[in-house]
Every structure is written in structure tokens, then in C-alpha cells.
Amino acid sequence: MGVSFDKIDGAILPNFEIRPAANPTPDQERTAKLADLGFGRIFTDHMAVVRYSQAKGWHDARVESRASFTLDPATAVLHYAQEIFEGLKAYRRDDGGVNLFRPDANARRFRSSAERMAMAPLPEPVFIEAIEQIVRIDRAWIPGGDGSLYLRPFMIANEIFLGVKPSAEYIFAVIASPVGSYFKGGPAPVSIWVSETYTRAAVGGTGAVKCGGNYAASLRAQAEAIEHGCDQVVFLDAVERRYVEELGGMNVFFVFEDGSLSTPPLGTILPGITRDSVITLAKETGAVVREEPYTIDQWRADAASGRLKEAFACGTAAVISPIGKVRSASGDFTISGGAAGPVAMGLRKKLVDIQYGRAADAHNWIRKVL
């Protein structure tokens, strides 16, 4: 206990104290739960927790029975939302082993999120070790087939204090949830609502940070999308209200008739690991990929002229989802008749094959946990 990870060398792994759940879910109950998966409602038996205080640094690294936190009503996160999170998955290979996809990229992004939110940065080896510990101890919860174990690392400000300042205490934790596919009905094309009322992020803000606050601010726009019969919302830039940024929780790509792709540039959008992987995979097919601004008017015009062949959204949860229909207060349009396109589906297959260990070249993106 009281192990400080502040001076950790990348090669030294933190020592988690393992306290297996005294009453894990019985096999039969777990099997029943795994047979009826949605997204994010079923949880495994354990969680990893590491605490931080200014005095001790990171300490008390534990894997323990999943349980509620006791939080004082004055705990900082409840008032000023100093909170960040990550999302990644563990995939069961055909040989029974388990893969993580680019967990080092999540660890890096978590660190930069912490820095932007004035939180204590968690050493990357601690982040990865916590995830691996949960995958190992809860391996029976990893679904087979096209399911996966969704891992949710997060950090909250835990100091009991109502003054506005960076917290002096934090809790880092990892929980896990077995999942089927994110969108009901699989990778069928989704419809999206263009929010002309709400924006997601401005230059200098937290658009590139994976923080709960961004999601809280997006929910009204997402509700508006649902009211208009759409699956998801797409945001425009906060200054000119013209440039397409991203969906509530996914990045976006456009595919043109000359075979090239484009995606909005980094800055106010979340730097998706799926986005980055798609850029690499698309370039390998010989396609030109541009990271450049694209306006909603150009999108509408290109869809009408047929210059735009496909549009798709991407993120860890849904992998790649073709966008079939776009609705806005100023009119609707469809992309290639609203059908899933071959580029989106081809990239999806490439990515999924790597994640499940079926690809010959995994690009060094796979970390075998088991």
C-alpha cells in the first residue's frame, strides 16, 4: 500500500493488490446475461481502483469486487465536473485468447485529457496494467462471436471542498461491460440530425478532451435528433456554423467518387483512435485521405451531384457506421440512396479483423492479454 507511482519507470509495472470478489456472479446467471447483451447495462464482477492525493501521489492500487463509491456531498466532481474517461474493448480471438486494440493510445489520450482538466496525470503503465488486470480477472465475461468486453477507465476529482480549484485528490477506476453491437440492427446505415442550435466545442475549449462535461452539453442536441427521428446528432463548428465537426461521440468521414476520403481536422474534435486507424488503413489501400474542413452546404451539394459516394461515422463502440440520411431544419438529403457503401464496409472489416486477431498484418496495434 501507499505505493507511489510518481517516479515510475515505463518498464516497471505497478503492484495491484488483488482481492477477488467473495460472491462472484454464478456461472448460470452470467451465461444468461451474456445471451442478452445491449450496450453498457451489464457489468462484470470486479473493478480496478487507484487513488491519488497530493501527499502520497498515486497509491492503493487494487482490483476488487465491483461496488459503489461513497462520496461526500461536497466532493468536487459533483459540483465542477472535473472528470475524464476512456473507452476501449477486449476482443476474444478464435484461439480463445484476448486482444486489446491500441491501449497505449488510450493511455496517452487519458494523460492529455487529465492535463487539460488540471487533473493528476496517470502514468501510462498504470492505466494499461489496470485494464489488463480487469480483463484477466473477468475473462469469463468476454463474449464470443462479434461481442466484446467494453472497458471504461475514468477519473474523478475526489477532494471534499467547494472552492473552485483543481482537486488535490482523485480516484482512477476501470469498470467493464460485456457488449453486443452498439447500434441495434448492426452496421445498417444511420440517420443523423444536423444541430443548427447547439454546438459542441470551440477553439480553446475542451472539444479534444474525453470528459463527461462534453457529453452533458451534447445531450439536448442528441434529444433533438431523436425528436426528429434520427439516430445521432452531428455538430457544426461554433464560429461559422458551417463546418462539419463530429457526431456526439463519433468522428466522421466522407468518401468521394475519385476514391479519396476526407475527415475534419483535429483541433476542436475528439482525436479518435478509430479515426486515426481508419486514416492509416485507407491510405494503405492507395486512397488519398485529406484532413480538411468540409461544410454542411458542400456535403448537401456533393450528395446531390453524386460526387460524394459515402459518409460514415467511426468510434470504438460502433466501429464504423455508414450514414444513410442527413436531416436538418433546412432540409433532408440522402447519400447514395441511403445504402451502406463498399468503402465503409471494407474499412470496417479490415479494422474488425485486426481487433479479433484475424488479420495477417495487425500493424502493431494488438496487445495480447491472454
Q: Contact between 199 and ligand PLP (CB under 6 A)?
A: no
**Counting beta carbons within 10 angstroms of the beta carbon of residue 216, is it exposed (0 to 12), middle (13 to 18) or buried (19 or more)?**
exposed
Q: Contact between 192 and ligand PLP (CB under 6 A)?
A: no
Of positions 66, 210, 350, 367, contacts ligand PLP by CB under 6 A:
210
Between 189 and 315, whose beta carbon lies closer to ligand PLP?
Answer: 315
Q: Contact between 273 and ligand PLP (CB under 6 A)?
A: yes
Q: Contact between 270 and ligand PLP (CB under 6 A)?
A: yes
Q: Cβ(327)–Cβ(228) under 8 Å?
A: yes
Of positions 44, 99, 251, 263, contacts ligand PLP by CB under 6 A:
251
**Counting beta carbons within 10 angstroms of the beta carbon of residue 40, is it exposed (0 to 12), middle (13 to 18) or buried (19 or more)?**
middle
Q: Contact between 63 and ligand PLP (CB under 6 A)?
A: no
Task: Select the span of 136-144, 244-252, 288-296, 345-353 touching ligand PLP (CB under 6 A).
Answer: 244-252
Q: Contact between 113 and ligand PLP (CB under 6 A)?
A: no
Q: Contact between 125 and ligand PLP (CB under 6 A)?
A: no
Q: Contact between 250 and ligand PLP (CB under 6 A)?
A: yes
Q: Contact between 315 and ligand PLP (CB under 6 A)?
A: yes
Q: Contact between 87 and ligand PLP (CB under 6 A)?
A: yes
Q: Contact between 181 and ligand PLP (CB under 6 A)?
A: no
Cβ contacts of 336 within 8 Å, gap of 6 or more = 308, 309, 310
Q: Estimate to the nearest angstrom the gap between the alpha carbon of 200 and the chain centroid.
A: 16
Task: Select the span of 30-38, 242-250, 291-299, 345-353 touching ligand PLP (CB under 6 A).
Answer: 242-250
Dmax over CA atoms of the chain, in Å, equals 64
Between 61 and 107, whose beta carbon lies closer to ligand PLP?
Answer: 107
Q: Contact between 246 and ligand PLP (CB under 6 A)?
A: yes
Count of CB atoms situated within 10 Å of the CB of 182? 19
Instruction: Say how far apart CA 90 and CA 152 lie, in whole Å.
Output: 11
Of positions 316, 321, 328, 355, contacts ligand PLP by CB under 6 A:
316
Instruction: Say how far apart CA 269 and CA 207 lie, in whole Å.
Output: 5
Q: Cβ(311)–Cβ(321) under 8 Å?
A: no
Q: Contact between 129 and ligand PLP (CB under 6 A)?
A: no
Count of CB atoms situated within 10 Å of the CB of 53? 16
Cβ contacts of 134 within 8 Å, gap of 6 or more = 44, 46, 47, 48, 63, 151, 174, 175, 176
Q: Which three cell numbers stand for residue 24?
A: 462472484
Instruction: Say how far apart CA 355 and CA 369 lie, in whole Å.
Output: 13
Of positions 249, 264, 322, 341, contacts ligand PLP by CB under 6 A:
249
Q: Contact between 221 and ligand PLP (CB under 6 A)?
A: no
* CA torsion through residues 91, 186, 269, 43, sign: negative
Q: Estimate to the nearest angstrom the gap between the alpha carbon of 344 and the chain centroid.
A: 19
Between 262 and 316, whose beta carbon lies closer to ligand PLP?
Answer: 316
Task: Select the span of 188-196, 266-274, 299-307, 356-364 touching ligand PLP (CB under 6 A).
Answer: 266-274
Of positions 153, 178, 272, 324, contacts ligand PLP by CB under 6 A:
272
Q: Cβ(310)–Cβ(343) under 8 Å?
A: yes
Contacting positions for ligand PLP (CB under 6 A): 87, 210, 246, 249-251, 270, 272-275, 315-316
